[in-house]
Structure 1
Amino acid sequence: MASPDQDLAPVLDKDGVRLTVDDTLATVTLTNPAKRNAQSPALWRALTEAGRLLPGSVRVVVLRGEGRSFSAGLDRQMFTPEGIPGEPSFIELARRDDAGLDATIAEFQEAFTWWRRNDIVSIAAVQGHAIGAGFQLALGCDLRVVADDVQFAMRETSLGLVPDLTGTHPLVGLVGYARALEICATGRFVGAAEAVASGLANVAVPGDQLDDAVRDLASALLGAPRDAVVETKALLRGAADRTYDEQRAAERAAQARRLRDLAGVGE
């Protein structure tokens, strides 16, 4: 795929992550195609930093991976006894007390959480493999546009682990409990057609049209007034945790804010 941000000076470019900003649109690119954008703690720290560095002007964030794969999951070196130099190995993590282990995983998860902030809409542009941590990173975004060669898979359970990078909640919300359990417990691949049919992806396009499709979607999102999008996103994100009557009340409150803002009337 051609890089849509190649002519922009990067705000961040390290540890396999590049952030570029073009006014209201930001692009976060995974930049290690030789390793199929394998993930590591250093990459997660860079992703977290990218979220913190987003200017307030940004309304839409596109997440993409260079090369043939979006992200093939964890760097395999993390599974070796010695792990990645300078990073805790799995054995070292297992030896930490409950509080220490919990804090470490929570730090890892931060790279996957900021994409759902109410002040932005995030789009994952996914081609090729999106496995394990790669699958969960795509799930961290609000929307997913996929190439017709996409292959999602959640392999953690097959390795004796669980998906712990915030992917389980959005996966169940998108495809339902039974299908989510089957996908995770079997570790099988989910292709483009099934991804769209199950609600996992918004749309699938030929690989050479992925960037254009994402660009068109971003433009459509930017066409709506920002405050209305922010309020609508907050309403929809909170709907599952509210009763019907609570959601009705939330709609009324949000609409009151919008009407007063549009009319220039203070609270």
Structure 2
Amino acid sequence: MPDGSSTVRLPGEHSPYWIHYPLDIRQQLRLLAQRGERVLLWFGPNESIVSSVLEVGADGQLLLDIGPDRRTNDRLLQLSELWLTGFMDGVEIQAPIGPLRPATHAGLPAFACPAPQRLHRLQRREFHRMPIPAGHKIRCTLPTPDQPPRTVAVELLDISLGGLCLVDPGIPGLVLHNGVTVPQCNIVLEGLGSFTVDLEVRHVESHPSRSGQVRHRVGCRFVQLPAGAQHLVQRCITQLELDRRALSA
């Protein structure tokens, strides 16, 4: 039956949390199916049915559980678009889907439709920081104040849509203190692409190691990250999370 206890809130077109790449979208939907997470299919601002993702085919076909009320199910089949919403590990997922058509799954009635062309994945925190495991080929180079100028590679610890955390390489003249902006930093996300952005230092933490050496962790904010770079970072975060889950499975 329709669930009128809550209201769907649609994300804006310019939200940086939209995922547009078909492979990434299918991976997110397959995780919902593997975990048996319940989702809602919205057919109005306050009208929805409880469903679940049953299967995501290699051809992109999406199979969904039907509701218990036949008249409501028939109503959904008449619509050109619905909204699928759900949560996984505290992350809100929303996607426009449809039109639906009748299908079967394991001999039982189901809905079928093409996989959505976009999916909105919003963390509870404004910018979820994803740790970068050792050996992962995400690289960052900073310009030095030398003349002629050169670049130095730095170790990255985590990344988010808002910025990243790096280890101060201890290069003379390269000042990484609170409030400093380092221009024209190059970020390379292997297999995805690269971009150049200014980094503003927001905080610095000192961490002594067992050998007695002190490492300085430098938290930086992206300054006016372009939309294309936002999509690259979002894809990188998605891939890092999928890799982490694959290792822990």
TM-score class, shorter: under 0.3
Alignment TM-score, normalising by the size of structure 1: 0.21
Instruction: Give the structure with the higher percent helix.
Output: 1
- State which structure, 1 or 2, has the greater radius of gyration over its C-alpha atoms: 2
User: If each structure's strand is expressed as a fraction of its own residues, which one has the higher value?
Assistant: 2
